[in-house]
Structure formats: structure tokens, C-alpha cells
């Protein structure tokens, strides 16, 4: 597993905890709004930020994708 994949798993878990939803629900939402691609593209910037910052960025990305 590479560092980007490890980071994406971290994001899934952080988002799941924040939203109080299941991992399956997170994966479906991330797929629906192309969050996996977003996280991969911006890995270099995001991976060094706090969990709260990352979850906030994911929330903003999903909101702007609706």
C-alpha cells in the first residue's frame, strides 16, 4: 500500500467518525462526488494538515460538487 492509499483510508475513517456513518456510506458518497480523485490530486497539500482541516475540505468539495 502506498502513502496516498494510506491517506485515503485515513480520510475515510475521519469522515466516517465526523458524520457518524458507516464505512460503506462513506465510500458510496466519496464515489458519487469523486472525492477519491480529489484526495489523490491534492494529497501533497492535504496529508500534512489536521484531521479537522481535511474533513472540512472534503465537506466543501462535496458541497461544491452538488
Instruction: Quote the crossing angle between the two packed helices 23-32 and 3-19, to the nearest 10°.
Output: 110
Domain, as residue range, for 28: 3-65
What is the average per-residue pLDDT within 5-24? Answer: 97
Confidence band (pLDDT; 50, 70, 90) for 8?
very high
Contact between residue 16 and residue 22 where contact means Cβ atoms under 8 Å apart: yes
Q: How far apart are CA 19 and CA 5, in angstroms?
A: 21
What's the structural domain count of the chain?
A: 1
Residue 66 pLDDT more than 90? Answer: no
pTM for the full model?
0.93
The pLDDT tens digits of the residues spanning 15-62 come to 999 999 999 999 999 999 999 999 999 999 999 999 999 999 999 999
Amino acid at each position: 500500500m502506498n502513502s496516498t492509499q494510506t491517506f485515503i483510508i485515513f480520510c475515510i475513517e475521519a469522515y466516517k467518525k465526523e458524520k457518524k456513518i458507516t464505512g460503506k456510506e462513506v465510500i458510496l458518497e466519496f464515489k458519487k462526488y469523486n472525492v477519491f480523485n480529489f484526495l489523490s490530486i491534492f494529497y501533497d497539500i492535504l496529508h500534512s494538515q489536521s484531521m479537522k482541516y481535511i474533513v472540512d475540505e472534503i465537506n466543501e468539495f462535496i458541497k461544491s460538487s452538488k
